Each structure stands twice: as structure tokens, then as C-alpha cells.
Amino acid sequence: MDISAIAARLGLSGSRPVVRKAGELRRLCDVNFDSSVLGIGEVCKVIICLEIAASKFQVIFDRAEAVRMSGMSEKAYIRSFNALQNGLGVKTTLDVRELGIQFGCVRLIPFVQRGLSLYKERFLAVLPPSRRASTDFGRPVFTAAAFYLCAKRHKLKVDKIKLIDLCGTSSAEFTTVSTSMADLCFDVFGIAKEKKDPKSIKGNRELFDVLPSKRKHEDDSDSSDESSEDDQDELDLPTHKRQKRMDKQAYNDWKSSVLSSNKQTKTDPAKPRRQAQLNFKKPTDVAVEVPSAAN
């Protein structure tokens, strides 16, 4: 399969260094191992080599289009990508400084570096000693997640999809790492949110409805001070609650009228019922002459 044709379909035809590096990685794959043993076809191998080369040169790579062209699911593609990357011995790195310059958030660089160091210390402290040596924090997803959380904390807009494409991971893995970082390092990455009881907070609709009714109530109180407590409660209610109360009152009136009409038309159950008599006229007797048989 021609690498240039696939690169053109992925929007990488203008990046000649990426295409050359992908061709080099493809030849290295053919020399070192057989990719078909790993369940990776030729087209998928070319696409993965292009993605590795694009991440090396910090070029945006369309992961969704690559998964569609490979004919695999996203999980299978990521598994094949990791297997091929480990087989080649290539590790993609993502520098915090380059991210800050690319997204225009240079002032986040010290916060991201401090957050990453704290996350490594706290994460390793939780793990047992046998698993600490095998933990790899050099993957780009950790740097990208820390950069995204810091930008979110400082209320800076960062394209999350572009970050995921740069680090070469899936959205599910990015969300998992972000959640883990926010839980372990809430003082650096977390966003304080005050939880309030929704019953104690009035919605905007109620606020807009209450204010005019209160103003109207105050104007009426200036003209006449004689008003009952029921009228005051009615004025203080929001519009939708007043309408609900009026509908309920109308329903109760209709129900009472139906019940009263049923009581009037209903007969007394103690009084026995008498069946109506049917008077049919009896037919008059008609004399029928039977002719005598002739002897």
C-alpha cells in the first residue's frame, strides 16, 4: 500500500518529513518482526506508522479518520498501536513547554510541572512496592491531562479533542487519567464547586415571576390596607404555582358537581325495584271450518 496515498487521505500530504519517517518505521517493522502475527494488516500498519511519525513531529493527526480507514474498532486500534510502538521501541513524548506555546498558555507551564510531580509522588505512595518499578509516567496522556486540568482550573479555553489527538490516546483513557489526577491532586487540579440543595434555590423563572407580583402587592397595599391573609399568600406565590392552584380548584369544583349530580339521579337502594308489566293483546278466536271428507 502506498504511504503517500494514505497520508493524503489523512491530510498529511503536505508534511513530507512525516511521510518519510513513516516509511522508515514501516521498513523497520518489516525487518524486525512480522506484524501479521500481532493481527495488524498492511493498511493498519501504514496508518500506525503515520501516527507515530506525526506525534514525533508534533503534527495534528486525525485519530477518528485513521480508525475508520483501518477497519478496526477504537479499542482494537489502540491495542495494535501500543503493540507496534512497543515492538519498534519508540516512545512518544509530549513536552509541557511545547503545549504551552502551541495553545497560548505559557503561564500554565510551572503549574503543570508541579502538578505532575505531586501526582507521581502520591500515586507511587499508594501503590505496593512491587508495582512501583513498572509504572510509566512518561506517556503523553499524563502530560496532556495535567495541562487540560490546569487550564480548566485557571479558566482558560483549551481544545480537548486536539489534546487527545496530540497525545495519541482515546477519550476514555484521557478521562480516566484526568479523573485520577483530580482525585489525588485536588489542591492543584481540582475545581471547587459548592453543592447546594436544589430545594433551597429558586430557579430563574420563579425569580422573574415573584418580583412583579411583589411589586404589585406593594402598590395595592398603598391604596388600601384591608387585605386578607389568603390574598397576600396568593400574591406571593409564583405564576406557575398560582396557575397550578387554580387548576386544582377548578378540578375540585368539577368533581363536586359530578358527585352531586350522581347523588340526585341515584335511586334509593333500600326501595325494591318493580318490573314493568308487559300487556300484550290476546288474539281473538277465529273459527276454522274443516271441510268434511266426501264418502
C-alpha 287/C-alpha 141 separation (Å) is 117
Q: How many domains does the chain have?
A: 2
**pLDDT category, 202, cuts 50, 70, 90?**
very low
Is residue 259 domain-resident?
Answer: no
* Domain assignment of residue 294, yes or no: no
Per-residue pLDDT at 212 exceeds 60? no
Same domain, 79 and 106: no
Q: Of residues 195 and 173, which shows the higher confidence score?
A: 173
Of 184, 204, 224, which residue constitutes the final position of a domain?
Answer: 204
Q: 158: domain range? A: 96-204
Residue 184, domain CATH: 1.10.472.10
Question: pLDDT (tens digit, 9 = 90+) per residue, 17-51?
Answer: 888 988 998 898 888 877 777 778 888 888 988 98
pLDDT for position 200: 44
State which of 58, 88, 118 marks the end of a domain.
88
Residue 253 lies in a domain: no
State pLDDT tens for residues 44-88. 888 988 988 887 887 888 888 888 998 888 888 878 887 888 788
Q: Are residues 69 and 141 in the same domain?
A: no
**What's the CATH code of the domain at 14?**
1.10.472
Task: Say if 215 falls within a structural domain.
Answer: no
H-assigned helices in the chain = 3-9, 16-32, 42-56, 63-70, 74-88, 96-103, 109-126, 129-132, 140-153, 160-167, 171-184, 186-189, 204-223, 229-236, 239-265
* Mean pLDDT, rounded, of the chain: 75
